[in-house]
Amino acid sequence: MTTVQQAIEAIYPLLDGKSDELDPQIAVLKAAMKQEGAKEATFEIGKLAQGNRQGRKLMQSYFRKKGVAVAFE
């Protein structure tokens, strides 16, 4: 079983907007969060493809639609 941290690390390279693998990886993250009882996934701003405010809000919105709450550190 994939941990939440492993799932998050696998998502970083997919955030360039050109990957068809993002949605399946979000599903993996969601399952890992459920398994671990996590309420939100925390991403490091420095590792994001677009770490500016607009990019973060867009990411939060997209992940929320998929049922995953996102926070940043």
- 17-53 pLDDT, tens digit per residue, is 777 899 999 999 999 999 999 999 999 999 998 889 9
Q: What is the mean pLDDT of residues 58-65?
A: 95
The first and second tokens of residue 11, run together, are 């998502």
pLDDT (0 to 100) of residue 39: 96
Whether 7 and 32 have beta carbons less than 8 Å apart is answered as yes
pLDDT (0 to 100) of residue 26: 96
